[in-house]
Amino acid sequence: GEDVEQSLFLSVREGDSSVINCTYTDSSSTYLYWYKQEPGAGLQLLTYIFSNMDMKQDQRLTVLLNKKDKHLSLRIADTQTGDSAIYFCAEWLGSGGSYIPTFGRGTSLIVHP
Amino acid sequence: DTGVSQNPRHKITKRGQNVTFRCDPISEHNRLYWYRQTLGQGPEFLTYFQNEAQLEKSRLLSDRFSAERPKGSFSTLEIQRTEQGDSAMYLCASSLAPGRRNEKLFFGSGTQLSVL
C-alpha cells in the first residue's frame, strides 16, 4: 500500500468535522475509493468518486478530488463516536489490462467526547 | 447471500503446520481477491481470480502460499509450513469485473491467523 499515502492518525471532537487526506499514484485512475474498517472486521466500502468529478456528497460524507495534485480527501460532517475506525483510500493500479485494487496504510480516526 | 463469508474467523497453529482458509464470495461476483493485513498496515494484495482463472499470483509472498478457485465460486488459500511471520489477518473480497461501472470490492470479516 505504499503507493497510496495517508496520514496515520486523526483525532477530533464529537460534532466537529473530520478531514482525511490521501495522495494517490496514478493520474489515470478512473475510480477512487474510501473504505472503513472497524476493529476485528473487514473493510466496508463507504463511498467512491469517478475521476471526471471534483466533488461527491453522500449524506455526511463529502469526497473532494484534485486530479492535478492527485489528492483525495474525505470529509465527515458532525463526526460521531461511531465514526471511530480506520479509513483507507484505494485506487486500482496496474497496466496491460491487469489492475489491482491498492490500498493506503489507513488513517485511524479517533473521536472523543 | 448477504455478503462475503470467510471461515474460520480465527486460526491458531503451530509453526510448520499447514493451514487452509475458505472464502465464499457474493454469488454474482466473478472476481475474488485475497489480501493480507498486518497490524497498522493496509491490505496487501496477494492474488485474484476471475471466475476459476487465477489472473495474478506473482504477489503471493512465497511458494508456501497457494490459492484455488476450482469451480469459480468459493476459494481456498493455503499456507504450507507456516512461520511466525505469517501471523496476520487474511482478507477475501469479491467484485464484478472492471469494465463495468461497479468496480467495488466487498470484503469478508477475515481470518485471523496466529502462528505459535
Tell me the DSSP string of chain B. --S-EEE-SEEEE-TT--EEEEEE--TT--EEEEEEE-TTS--EEEEEEETTEEEE-TTSSSTTEEEE-TTSS-EEEEE-S--GGG-EEEEEEEEPPBTBS----EE---EEEEE-
A103 touches chain B (CB under 8 A): yes
Chain B residue nearest residue A35, CA to CA: B105
User: B116 near B14, Cβ under 8 Å?
Assistant: yes
Residue B67's contacts (CB-CB under 8 Å, 6 or more residues apart) are B34, B46, B47, B49, B54, B57, B60, B75, B76, B77, B78
Over residues A2-11, the pLDDT tens digits come to 578 998 999 9
- CA separation, residue A100 to residues A79, B59, B86 (Å): 31, 11, 22
Over residues B87-108, the pLDDT tens digits come to 999 999 998 876 554 478 899 9
B109 touches chain A (CB under 8 A): yes
A29 touches chain B (CB under 8 A): no
Residue type at A20 in one-letter notation: I
Over residues A60-71, the pLDDT tens digits come to 999 999 989 999
Here the cell at position B111 is 481470518
The DSSP bridge pattern shows strands B53-56 and B111-115 to be unpaired
Over residues A6-43, the pLDDT tens digits come to 989 999 999 999 999 999 987 777 788 999 999 888 89
Between chains, do A42 and B93 touch, taking CB under 8 Å as contact? Answer: yes
Chain B residue nearest residue A39, CA to CA: B109
Q: Residue B22 pLDDT more than 80?
A: yes
Between chains, do A104 and B44 touch, taking CB under 8 Å as contact? Answer: no
**B109 interaction partners in chain A (CB closer than 8 Å):** 40-42
Rounded to 5°, the CA angle A89-B98-B106 comes to 50
Q: Residue A1 pLDDT more than 70?
A: no
With CA atoms as reference, report the closest residue to A48 among A13, A10, A88.
Answer: A88
Residue B77 β-bridge partners: B21, B67
Q: Residue B109 pLDDT more than 50?
A: yes
A82: helix, strand or coil: helix
